[in-house]
Amino acid sequence: MEHYISLAFLAAGIILIVLEMASLTFYMAALAFASFLTAFVTWVYPMQDWQSAVVFMLGAVVAFPLAHMLRRHMQHKDPDPLADMDKGSHVTVAEVNTSGLKVKYRGSLWEALWDGSGAPQVGQNAEVVAREGSRLRVKAI
pLDDT digits (tens, 9 = 90+) for 22-78: 988 889 999 999 999 999 999 999 899 999 999 999 999 999 999 999 888 887 766
CB 1 within 8 A of CB 44: no
CA torsion through residues 65, 67, 68, 74, sign: positive
Q: Domain limits of the chain?
A: 4-75, 83-140
Q: Does domain 83-140 have CATH number 2.30.30.220?
A: no
Backbone angles phi, psi at 24, to 5 degrees: 55, 45
Question: pTM for the full model?
Answer: 0.54
Q: Helix, strand, coil: what percent of the chain each, to 5?
A: 50, 25, 25
pLDDT at 82: 56
Query: What is the structure's pLDDT at 75?
Result: 78
Q: Tens of pLDDT along 78-117? A: 665 555 687 888 999 999 988 789 999 988 999 998 887 7
Phi and psi at residue 51, to the nearest 5° = -70, -40
Across the chain, mean pLDDT equals 88
40: burial class by Cβ within 10 Å (0-12, 13-18, 19+)?
middle
d(CA 38, CA 126): 60
- DSSP string for 30-49: HHHHHHHHHHHHHHHS---H
Residue 76 has what pLDDT?
77
